[in-house]
Amino acid sequence: AAPLQTEATLTVQQNESTDLPWIAVAAARGPLAKLTAKAELEAAHQRLTAEGEVRPFAAWPVNALQLKADKFDLAALATLSPGLPRTSLTGTAKLTVPALSAEATLQAEMRNDAPGRWDQGALPVKQLRLAVAGRPDQLTSLRLTALDAELAGGARVQGKGQRDATGRWQLDARVQGLRPEALDARATPARLDGPLSVSGGTQQPLAARLDLRGTLQQRPLRVQARVQGRLLEQGSSWQIEEARLTSGDAELQAKGSVDVTPAAQVAAKLQAQLRQFDPHLLWRGEPASAWARLPATRLNADATLDLRGSNLETLTGTVDARLLPSQFAGLAAQGQLSAKRGRTQDAAAFDADMRIGNNRVQANGEARPTAVTAQWKLQAPKLAELNPLLALFEQPSVTGQAEGDGSLQLARDSTAWKFGGIGKLAVTSLSTRVARRRRG
What is the pLDDT at residue 234? 74
Contact 137, 100 (CB under 8 A): yes
What is the pLDDT at residue 438? 46
Neighbours of 225 (CB within 10 A): 17
Average pLDDT of adjacent 10-residue blocks, the chain of 440 residues: 81 76 90 92 86 90 93 84 91 94 95 95 97 94 97 96 93 97 93 96 89 92 94 84 94 96 89 96 89 95 97 95 97 98 96 98 95 96 95 92 94 87 84 56
What is the pLDDT at residue 22? 82
The residues spanned by each domain of the chain are: 217-346, 350-439
Rounded distance, CA 76 to CA 135, Å? Answer: 37
pTM: 0.82
What is the pLDDT at residue 440? 55
H/E element holding 430?
strand 417-433
What is the pLDDT at residue 86? 94
